Structure 1
Amino acid sequence: MTAEPDPAPERAQLSGVVASLLLYTGPLAWLSQLSLGEMLTSWPCFPGPQHLEMPMPGYDWTRLASIILLALAAVAACAAGFASWRIFQSVREEREGGHDALVEVGHGRTRFIALWGIYLGGGFGVVTLLTLAGFAMVPRCLG
């Protein structure tokens, strides 16, 4: 009786913690900038039922804080995407066969996780950068 080869021989290159970081950093960075950015940008312009033409006095710092938050979230998401790409490059030959064939038999799990890390990190990085561009172009307290 011959033992079947390990379906993920390169799994030592990707621990559970690293896999989680690669997969969750992009979405969590985007969610953080969305939630905290909403708080930072809406309160100075909408402190009550009616919106103000200009931000409330003393809240000018919130625009800069929002831009910094957006930039940090974009950097975190893109860094996760890049790290995933680096891991993908090292394990792309984990098993012979194309992606479609390997998915059918459950081989290439490390490659699969790295590939999804690229999609999630890069995708959420791009979305956050687009949000940053839109934020920079829209006047404050536009309503």
Structure 2
Amino acid sequence: MTRAHEGEAHPAPHRDRVAAHEGLFAVWAAPLVWAVQLTVSFAATSNSCFDAGDRLLTHPGVEIWPLIVSIAALLIALAGLCLSIVLLRRTRDETGGSERRLVETGQGRTRFMAVWGIAFSSVFAFLIAVNLALLLAMSECAA
């Protein structure tokens, strides 16, 4: 501990209110499932047609696996968003003071992670929803 931090409380006094797996899920679930959703959708739909426009996959319509993965990814991203909101409510009163003091001492870490969980989950849930909408709206073969 440095002299600047002597007498300071722990920078995350409410860390006992947030389990490690909750914090990890809140922050990383949405970005990871977006990557899975994007990869599965690309792999399943990018080669659905031959160069001449003939169907490579025999069943008509939208392939079911990208649709299932996209819906599951959206639900997981929304679960991450809900958990982030719950974690923020648990740690809302973690530390008081001005922003400058909080930045200099690193106070309120669990609250900070909950806020980033909300930001990440919101953005990636939106991206997953857009990918899902495009999956449903696009034609099977561009040829």
Query: TM-score with structure 1 length normalisation?
Result: 0.84
> Given the alignment of the two structures, is residue 42 of structure 1 paired with residue 46 of structure 2, yes or no?
yes
Q: Is the 8 A contact 2:22 2:83 kept in 1?
A: no
CA–CA separation in structure 2 for the residues paired with 1:16 and 1:25: 13
Match of 1:28 in 2: 32
Aligned counterparts, 1:51-66, within 5 A:
52-53=53-54, 55-60=55-60, 63-66=63-66
Percentage of matched positions with identical amino acids = 28
The DSSP-based 3-state class of the residue aligned with 1:97 is coil
CA–CA separation in structure 1 for the residues paired with 2:86 and 2:52: 47
The DSSP-based 3-state class of the residue aligned with 2:10 is coil
| CA pair 40-98 structure 1, distance change in 2 beyond 3 A | farther
The DSSP-based 3-state class of the residue aligned with 1:96 is coil
Residue segments in structure 2 that go unaligned for 5+ positions in a row: 1-5
* Worse-superposed segment, 106-115 or 67-76: 67-76
Aligned counterparts, 1:28-107, within 5 A:
28-46=32-50, 50=51, 52-53=53-54, 55-60=55-60, 63-97=63-97, 99=99, 101-107=101-107
Residue segments in structure 1 that go unaligned for 5+ positions in a row: none
Aligned length: 138
The structural deviation recorded for 1:108 is 0.2
Q: Is the 8 A contact 1:26 1:80 kept in 2?
A: yes
CA–CA separation in structure 2 for the residues paired with 1:83 and 1:26: 11
| CA pair 43-59 structure 1, distance change in 2 beyond 3 A | farther
Q: Is the 8 A contact 2:61 2:140 kept in 1?
A: no
| CA pair 99-27 structure 1, distance change in 2 beyond 3 A | farther
Runs of 4+ in 1 over 6 A off after TM superposition: none
Query: TM-score with structure 2 length normalisation?
Result: 0.84
CA–CA separation in structure 2 for the residues paired with 1:41 and 1:92: 44
Over the aligned positions, Cα root-mean-square deviation in angstroms equals 2.1
Aligned counterparts, 1:116-131, within 5 A:
116-131=116-131
| CA pair 20-82 structure 1, distance change in 2 beyond 3 A | same
